[in-house]
Chains A and B, each alone.
Chain A
Amino acid sequence: MSPRSLFEKLWQSHLVQQLEGGAALLAIDRIFLHERTGSVALKSLAAAGRKIADPSRVFCTMDHIVDTFPGRGDETRMPGGSAFILETRAAARAAGIHLFDVRDPLQGIVHVISPELGIVLPGATVVCPDSHTCTQGALGALAWGIGSTEAEHALATGTLRVTRPKTMRVRFEGQRPAGVTAKDFALALIARYGSAGGNGYAVEFAGSAVRALDIEARLTLCNMATEFSAMTGLIAPDEHTFEYLRGRDFAPEGATWDHAVTAWRELSSDVGAHFDMDIEIDVSTLAPMITWGTSPQHAVAIDGVVPEQSASGTGPEAYARALQYMDLAPGTALTSLPIAAAFIGSCTNSRISDLRRAAALLRGRKVASGVRAICVPGSMSVKRQAEAEGLDKIFVEAGFEWRESGCSMCFFAGGESFGARERVVSSTNRNFESRQGPETRTHIASPETVAASAIAGHIADARALQPR
């Protein structure tokens, strides 16, 4: 057999039927839903009189609209938000799927809880009506975001009709410098190749610097594949992956576990496998990254300046609009920009390792006066773990709000927001116009950069701070 890539192995092992017209019918192993876009899929499916093919393999969480204030319930700050929660709950119960409800001790952001509960597994296909489903490819799964109608299709048939993407391999090689994180790998890639650079591809992240990342950092890297316009990102599973999954709530046990691990060891790209595009990035030359504009591709090194249009990778109209929106001029040093708010959370960077690294910088230090700082753990399990380690106290003593888990202010849904034209440094994934609030100016970066900036009161280089 000719050498195959990891993507080809996953594709072939799920191929139910080659369809006329070139698409493939792929078996879907796990479906995840949330109250924002899953609710409408469940409702529409029921209205059409269609049944879920296998409810035991369908999971639903409340993460997008649910509040993150202490003492939260079904009522939301977002006007009309409770209808999404109530309708999702009713539909999920009627359908007999797994539900991580508002008060469930395992509730959390879909792409945080799926790995931490062992719902996503190596070699599985996972879909969710959520663009950041690519996150879960970090465990060696084929995981991608879909629309609500596609979710209905997956629910009703247990399959999707998929046109095969091209394959790309991005090899991150070399020694990762101190202070440079998986988030910075992703932003550097997108800055270099553009936010459409992965369009039409499934992207395997490989290379020595990826193998050296812990599982949570791999999840961060794959999370940003959608900001690269890729169908998905994926990483070959290894012993770290198996150790991470062992004993998790929904992971296989006993003889089945052993059987699974034997199969999972085959899940890597063979030597000589074909990729339609193959690129390499030397991480030893990277610095922490921060965005200046309104697309994730508008990213520069933390000690950099707002680029001229010719160096921005953006056409004149989009460049002018981005500068106007962000109230910036070319040549301005990013670290000179005062901030009004700092946010740590989201499916990108809200896991326990993210919180530990931020807390190491915040310990014994204070958030600058006038800066609103918020930390939202990615799941209730992450929150409990952080509290067991005393991290909550570090965040609170530094001046951060400490929240219940959810997507929170990664996006503005009409309820809670940052102020108009306020500058926010955020560990999230999107710096789009009005993403975090009406006219809010978002700069995305690693949790370390967010913590250091919160302390300084302006965008700051975390490498200048000694962890404590």
Chain B
Amino acid sequence: MEPFKSLTAVAAPIVRANVDTDIIIPSREMKSVSKTGLAAGLFAGWRYTTIGGREPNPDFVLNRAEYGSAQIILGGENFGCGSSREHAVWALHEYGFRAVIAPSFSPIFFGNCVRNGIVPVRLPVATVQALAAWVERDPAQHRITVDLQNAVVRADDREHAFELDPESRDMLLEGLDAIALTLKQRAVIEEFWQRDRRARPWIYEIEEGASR
């Protein structure tokens, strides 16, 4: 995972509550057992004129030329709710997005962002709406900066501090592989299991019953 320090980019406003992962990538667009090949299906239901088609809907924000290089999404409350599908985040990343700024995120989507180098930034709804209004006045020039090292968003000569738990922040800043990091604790985990096996043997001794 590539480290994320700071990014200044065009931001695409999709400031609507409850943008779910079915919207971000419809199930029908997840066509193979793969983390790639998903960008074309991103927001497919809104982005194209027909279901399954590829004719761009000119009204959708990502199809407007001034948002062509967008790398940040301005989203609404409960962004990424619904299905746990990590394909939503893989599709966003493959398309080029590196940050989503929203008042709140579904917890699973939030975790998926962190594991894939996309910064989930929580800012109050009024701030997100103000950022969207500012961006819409001149999308190509009114770029937004997400500075993860200092945990601030900069736009329109203003700074908006945001909070991100230190674990997520470190993972994103350093581009860490969580699995590799945890595997270093293997001895501690084994020790826990040995102890726990005595306390809760039913967790570890799995015998399949008669109907198997």
Interface residues of A (CB under 8 A from B): 16-17, 19-23, 25, 27, 29, 36-37, 39-40, 43-44, 48, 50, 53, 56-57, 78-80, 83-84, 87-88, 98, 105-106, 118, 121, 123-124, 129-131, 145-150, 152-153, 156-159, 161, 163, 165, 195-196, 199-200, 226-227, 229-231, 247-253, 256-257, 259-260, 263, 294-295, 297, 314-315, 317-318, 321, 411-414, 420, 430, 432-435, 438-439
Contacts and interface: CB of A to CB of B under 8 A. Distances in A.
Interface in B185-212: 185-186, 188-189, 192-193, 196, 199-212
Given A129-B84, A161-B182, A147 B192 contact: no
B200 A39 contact: no
B81 interface: yes
A contact face: mostly helix, strand, loop, or mixed: loop
Contacts of B193: 27, 158
A93 to B, nearest CB: 15
Contacts, number: 224
Interface stretch (B28-36, B62-70, B150-158): B28-36
Scoring A16, A48, A227, A251 by chain B CB atoms within 10 A of each residue's CB, the highest score goes to: A16
Nearest to B17: A318
Interface of B: 15-18, 20, 22-23, 26-28, 30-35, 45, 51-52, 76-78, 81-87, 89, 104-108, 111-112, 115-116, 165-170, 178-179, 181-183, 185-186, 188-189, 192-193, 196, 199-212
Given A315-B17, A318-B18, A147 B111 contact: yes
Contacts of A105: 211
A430 B192 contact: no
Contact of B203 (A16, A29, A161): A29
Interface centre among B84, B112, B207, by most A CB within 10 Å? Answer: B84
Contacts of A27: 189, 192-193, 196
Contacts of A434: 22, 26, 45, 51
Given A229-B81, A260-B202, A295-B17, A159 B165 contact: no
B211 A157 contact: no
A195 B108 contact: no
